[in-house]
Structure 1
Amino acid sequence: MPEQAMDGPLNIGLLCFIVQRAMEDRVLADLAAAGYDDVTIAQGRVLARVDAKGTRLSDLAERARVTRQTATFMVDHLERAGYVRRVPDPSDARARLVVFAERGLAAQEVARRTEAVVQEEWTRHLGRRATARLHELLSRLREITDPYR
């Protein structure tokens, strides 16, 4: 039975947010324990949107749903802390890409390990079949909800 809000069951969006927030909290806690304690939630959300080959600042801002000025401020801080660096965009000499620096790649490894641990905990709780079905259903919802898929 779904958890109850003041006026009925929680909607799917809120339930997904609660689950996402739990994952985010675990990742940030493990990052802090591993020595990456200078990443805020907002900065973590920006870091999570940096592609393997780099991402333009304007795209990071759009994906993180923050202003370009806010994204610039966060990337400046992350760059000073050694998590990212800016490099020329090979497809446009006027543009720059935000890419992971060594510290950012090391932090990303910690985050990926935590994500795997948490997902396995959830799988033990739900069972493999239900977890696979949940993944399938959420992937289908992504088809109509994620403009970056």
Structure 2
Amino acid sequence: MEQEHLSPLVKEMRETFERFARAEWRKQTSFGIKSSEIRVLLCIKVLAAENGHGVNISDISRKLDVTSPTVTQMVKHLIHEGYVERAADPRDKRISLLGLTDKGDAAAQKAYERFTTIFSGLIETLGEEQSKTLVSLLNQVYQYLHHLDID
């Protein structure tokens, strides 16, 4: 479809989403690893705190809504870089559980603090009411786009 046939609002929305896709704040690497790998570290930290022990690939896959093979590749790299360690589940030796090393925990903590600072600043800028509205709208956008992926 040619650009001049788009309604102004469709054009503005597309351009806004494109800016978010290119946003540098979400692509920045920390500690020499990708932002997607930082999300895996944060996920392991949160899930391990919730369940009191290590987590498996499927736990991470479900939480982040990405495929297990994708998580497996990221975890392999994180293990190689010394951020994550693998151990046998004491209840079932066939199952591998993942946990953070001290290096991984430090990276996850720093990322958590960075995200907290970014989003706290955003809430301060927008105000509480607009922030709640933004969260609600973004959840609606996610549900709409997720529904499109399913169909």
Range class of TM-score, shorter chain: 0.5 to 0.7
Query: Is the 1:49–1:64 contact (alpha carbons within 8 Å) kept by the matching residues of 2?
Result: no
Count how many residue pairs are aligned between Structure 1 and Structure 2: 129
Output the CA distance in 2 between the equivalents of 1:58 and 1:82.
21
Aligned pair 1:46/2:40, yes or no?
A: yes
The within-5 A match list for 1:1-149 is 6=3, 7=6, 8=10, 9-10=12-13, 15=17, 18=20, 24-25=26-27, 28-29=28-29, 31=30, 36=31, 38-50=32-44, 51-53=46-48, 54-61=54-61, 63=64, 65-68=66-69, 70-135=70-135
- Structure 2 unpaired stretches of 5+: 49-53, 147-151
SS in 1 for 2:82: coil
TM-score (norm 2): 0.62
- Structure 1 unpaired stretches of 5+: 1-5
Output the CA distance in 2 between the equivalents of 1:42 and 1:133.
27
Using the TM superposition, name which of 43-52 and 78-87 deviates more: 43-52
Which of structures 1 and 2 has the bigger CA Rg?
Answer: 2
Give the Å deviation of 1:108.
1.0
Higher percent of residues as strand: 1
Task: Report percent identity of matched pairs.
Answer: 24
Output the CA distance in 2 between the equivalents of 1:140 and 1:10.
15
Higher percent of residues as helix: 2
TM-score (norm 1): 0.63
Give the Å deviation of 1:41.
3.3
Quick one: structure 1 residues 129 and 61, their matched pair in 2 at CA, closer, same or farther if it must change by over 3 Å? closer
Using the TM superposition, name which of 43-52 and 73-82 deviates more: 43-52
